């Protein structure tokens, strides 16, 4: 009950803050963002000290080195966080944009304009940089934000939020605009997820477990981010040299991220020519291969791919390979196993490229390019709060615009029905 | 378990249908819609006969006359349904629209295009006309639809769906594109609401109880429609003659709908002049008034308005009246009691009109016009599936565009990161 009241108070305050945020100019928000960046730099030592407590505790608890690395903050990482805030300050404020405006036969003028969502809840894992990222993007887009990070990062998140919040307040932002849930009690998340009265949207950021838990338990609307079981399909008429470069890039440039490739589909007519050379190169780069029965005939010494492999997001230097009879079979495979994230075809066949673009149901569908481009900054959005894999509200990389809603404003002169 | 399997099979089939829908041209969809309209007219007698069973059962069960009227189908109503389908056929297909397209420095061309949502679940009450409306809008927007209407209308909904579905199939639409849940078992809704694998969005249509039940229990993303506790605020500088017409219209033209006005706010400086005349007219029109203490001093013989009144959507010929000290107090009242649906100010003060438009957080914010205009056809959208009162995805009247998502298509020539 105490926890519930604690979270509700934060949410109420956030809602009040969001009401004031609507009236604040982009200039004032930008000044606050710059001051927040300065404050991070000015308080570097204190942040590193607080973070050390988290890291030491994490080490005692036996967190993996990968997790400890994500948790760890050093001078360079604080400088990156500050740079991120300055970058967000330089972006255009999406609010106030008139999406359409028209006059009705009765002389009513109706306009649809962009407005903040209101209060955004971010639920994430032990990555303190998300705290700064999310706070900056939410503030710039005119939203109040409630941050609930992984308990392993509690000291880091608390001090970071206090520092940037103080700088924001000093620069005219409203009380409660940026808040952190300062408890590791899991009940806090349960309360947060059901506060429809105060919170307009939840964005979970993290692994599949975290996201599914929020999707299943929240009554507040959720934007689902994340899971990417991405495919590259090399078509009969694909440029094989280019295909090889794209596959190597999509698999190894950063295998642990959601837009990395997990399964390669190859047209049967070119598999014999293409796969042996590719397999050799990938193996040389440390990639473990798993193949369908046809692939195993062409490429010796690779493990068989099971049904499970087709559905797995490895996030690792592992690649499943399947030889398919046709574009239709490739489309069918992607339909059955894809997660609607990023899918690519390598082809020089016009008709097939058009069919792939139209028929593949995913946030980003590529012709002759690496799936790794599904990213806010690669798309030119300047910043990104995540990649939506749902179809409601936002799909694909989400920048500032995706953190807004719209409303209709109607200018009348006495109209009645 | 049987029910669960039954609903899952429908949902699977709908998902397969939605995959095919993407490739169907607007022309073919329009032909199907026209054939569906014809089929309704051709099968008028059978529909009326099936509906009579529902109406008789409803009467036995003691449904109110208002509910029986909503349930009842006659010749004119079938003609209206058919007309609705023909109207939807005449609207532009929103799919394929390129919302933006740009070239990146690496020569990737990125386009954001409009695509169907996929599978839409509509959960509604005993109003058979919703069956046809929703089926037509979903089909035109390229979505497969699963309809779950109130059990009191089961016979009507089943025969209507069968008739239009058969016409759709004969005209090239895919198997499973329009389906109805043919059971009154409530478990079917519980299953439907949690089929995230197959259903992309749920749209509940009906009273507050139905909508809240879906919001609270669904894991599939929901578009919340409906509740409207709408206000008209008459400002110090408002044109009082125009104000009177707008108030009368907003209150009595159709009191049972969500965009009707429920509470009147009046600036204290004009209340003495304005309220007595208005009250007399409203009383003459059968409107029961409830006032704050100041209102009661000005208008004699009216009931006091309690705290509950400010929060109530009467949907009836009842109006709560509150005298406020200033625009700020009006804004505060709307913030506290509004449901973010439709809000109006009557003013000739430029600054106040701008503040109202900016600061009121609602789907539709009006200056000098009736709240009754918040409606898809009044906005010029041609058709409407409901009025969204949430901020995610769609806000305000939802037409065909609001039944779509987007995806990014990316044209490359071998780009890697």
CA–CA distance, A314 with A317 (Å, rounded to integer) = 8
User: Most B CBs within 10 Å: which of A369, A377, A384, A387, as the mutation test of the B interface?
Assistant: A369
| Residue A396 zone, left/alpha/beta (φ > 0; ψ -120 to 50; rest) | left
Shared-domain flag, residues A245 and A213: no
CA–CA distance, B85 with B165 (Å, rounded to integer) = 13
Determine the pLDDT at residue B184.
Answer: 84
Chain A closest-CA separation from residue B273 CA (Å): 19
CA–CA distance, A353 with B12 (Å, rounded to integer) = 27
Determine the pLDDT at residue B168.
Answer: 98
Does the structure show a pLDDT above 80 at A89?
Answer: yes
The answer to whether residue B41 is domain-embedded is: yes
The answer to whether residue A386 is domain-embedded is: no
**What CATH number is associated with residue B251?**
3.40.309.10
Kindly report the number of other CB atoms within 10 A of residue A65's CB atom: 8
Shared-domain flag, residues B49 and B174: yes
State mean pLDDT over A403-414. 98
Kindly report the number of other CB atoms within 10 A of residue B285's CB atom: 11
Tens of each residue's pLDDT in chain B, 417 residues: 699 999 999 999 999 999 999 999 999 999 999 999 999 999 999 999 999 999 999 999 999 998 899 999 999 999 999 999 999 999 999 999 999 999 999 999 999 999 999 999 999 998 899 999 999 999 999 999 999 999 999 999 999 999 999 999 999 999 999 999 998 888 999 999 999 999 999 999 988 889 999 999 999 999 988 789 999 999 999 999 999 999 999 999 999 999 999 999 999 999 999 999 999 999 999 999 999 999 999 999 999 999 999 999 999 999 999 999 999 999 999 999 999 999 999 999 999 999 999 999 999 999 999 999 999 999 999 889 999 999 999 999 999 999 999 999 999 999 999
Shared-domain flag, residues B208 and B355: no
Shared-domain flag, residues A218 and A236: no
Residue among A196, A242, A390 minimizing CB distance to B221? A390
Task: Please provide residue B210's backbone torsions phi and psi, each rounded to the nearest 5 degrees.
Answer: -60, -50
Read off the pTM: 0.93
Tokens for A85, please give them.
Answer: 């805030």
Shared-domain flag, residues B309 and B175: no
Shared-domain flag, residues B66 and B115: yes
Write out chain B residues lying below 8 Å of A118, CB-based.
361, 391
More confident residue, B404 or A208: B404
Residue among A117, A221, A362 minimizing CB distance to B221? A221
- The pLDDT-based confidence of A1 (bands split at 50, 70, 90) is low
Shared-domain flag, residues A258 and A171: no
B414 with A363: Cβ contact below 8 A: no
DSSP reduced 3-state for B206: coil
Residue B106: C-alpha distances to residues A17, A366, A378, A397, B414 (Å) = 41, 14, 10, 18, 10
Shared-domain flag, residues A149 and A272: no
The answer to whether residue A158 is domain-embedded is: yes
Write out chain A residues lying below 8 Å of B223, CB-based.
392
Shared-domain flag, residues A212 and A237: no
Shared-domain flag, residues A23 and A69: yes
Shared-domain flag, residues B217 and B256: no
Tokens for A197, please give them.
Answer: 């009265």
Chain B closest-CA separation from residue A117 CA (Å): 6
The answer to whether residue B382 is domain-embedded is: no
Write out chain A residues lying below 8 Å of B412, CB-based.
366-370
Chain B closest-CA separation from residue A45 CA (Å): 35
DSSP reduced 3-state for A98: strand
* Entry field: residues in chain B: 417
The answer to whether residue B109 is domain-embedded is: yes
Shared-domain flag, residues A189 and A243: no
- The pLDDT-based confidence of A60 (bands split at 50, 70, 90) is very high
Contact A126/A149 with Cβ under 8 angstroms? yes
Write out chain A residues lying below 8 Å of B102, CB-based.
380
B239 with A414: Cβ contact below 8 A: yes
**What CATH number is associated with residue A124?**
3.40.605.10
Contact A139/A33 with Cβ under 8 angstroms? yes
The answer to whether residue A401 is domain-embedded is: yes
Q: What is the largest CA-CA distance in chain B?
A: 80
Residue A6: C-alpha distances to residues A13, A149, A201, B50, B205 (Å) = 11, 16, 19, 55, 34
Kindly report the number of other CB atoms within 10 A of residue A99's CB atom: 9
The answer to whether residue B188 is domain-embedded is: yes
A372 with B245: Cβ contact below 8 A: no
Count of domains in chain A? 2
ipTM (interface pTM): 0.94
| Residue A153 zone, left/alpha/beta (φ > 0; ψ -120 to 50; rest) | alpha
Lowest-pLDDT choice from A154-158, A213-217, B207-211? B207-211
Determine the pLDDT at residue B399.
Answer: 95
B393 with A390: Cβ contact below 8 A: no
Structural domain span for residue B270:
230-377
The answer to whether residue A383 is domain-embedded is: no
To 10 degrees, the CA torsion angle through B208, B214, B217, B220?
A: -150
Write out chain A residues lying below 8 Å of B369, CB-based.
108, 410-416
């Amino acid at each position: 009950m105490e926890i519930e009241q604690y979270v509700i108070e934060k949410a109420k305050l956030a809602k009040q803050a969001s009401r004031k945020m609507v009236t604040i100019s982009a200039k004032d928000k930008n000044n606050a963002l710059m001051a927040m960046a300065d404050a991070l730099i000015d308080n570097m030592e204190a942040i590193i000290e607080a973070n050390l407590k988290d890291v030491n505790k994490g080490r005692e608890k036996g967190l993996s080195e990968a997790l400890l690395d994500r948790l760890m903050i050093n001078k360079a990482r604080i400088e990156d966080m500050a740079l991120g805030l300055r970058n967000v300050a330089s972006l255009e404020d999406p609010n106030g944009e008139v999406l359409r405006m028209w006059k009705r036969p009765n002389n009513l003028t109706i306009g649809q304009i962009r407005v903040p969502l209101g209060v955004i809840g971010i639920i994430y894992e032990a990555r303190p940089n998300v705290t700064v990222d999310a706070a900056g993007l939410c503030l710039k887009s005119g939203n109040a934000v409630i941050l609930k990070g992984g308990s392993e990062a509690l000291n880091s998140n608390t001090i970071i939020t206090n520092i940037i919040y103080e700088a924001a307040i000093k620069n005219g932002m409203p009380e409660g605009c940026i808040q952190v849930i300062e408890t590791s009690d899991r009940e806090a998340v349960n309360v947060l997820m059901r506060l429809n009265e105060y919170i307009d949207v939840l964005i979970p950021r993290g692994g599949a477990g975290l996201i599914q838990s929020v999707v299943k338990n929240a009554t507040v609307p959720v934007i689902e981010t994340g899971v990417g079981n991405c495919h590259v399909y090399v078509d009969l008429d694909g440029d094989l040299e280019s295909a090889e470069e794209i596959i190597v890039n999509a698999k190894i440039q950063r295998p642990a991220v959601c837009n990395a490739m997990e399964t390669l589909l190859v047209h049967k007519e070119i598999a014999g020519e293409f796969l042996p050379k590719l397999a050799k190169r990938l193996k040389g780069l440390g990639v473990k291969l798993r193949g369908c029965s046809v692939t195993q005939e062409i490429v010796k010494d690779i493990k068989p791919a099971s049904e499970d492999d087709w559905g797995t997001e490895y996030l690792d230097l592992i690649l499943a390979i399947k030889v398919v009879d046709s574009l239709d079979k490739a489309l069918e495979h992607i339909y059955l196993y894809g997660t609607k994230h990023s899918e690519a075809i390598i082809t020089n066949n016009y008709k097939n490229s058009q069919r792939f673009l139209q028929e593949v149901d995913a946030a980003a569908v590529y012709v002759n390019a690496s799936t790794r481009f599904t990213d806010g900054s690669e798309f030119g959005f300047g910043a990104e709060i995540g990649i939506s894999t749902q179809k409601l509200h936002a799909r694909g990389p989400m920048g500032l615009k995706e953190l807004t809603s719209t409303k209709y404003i109607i200018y009348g002169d006495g109209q009645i029905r």
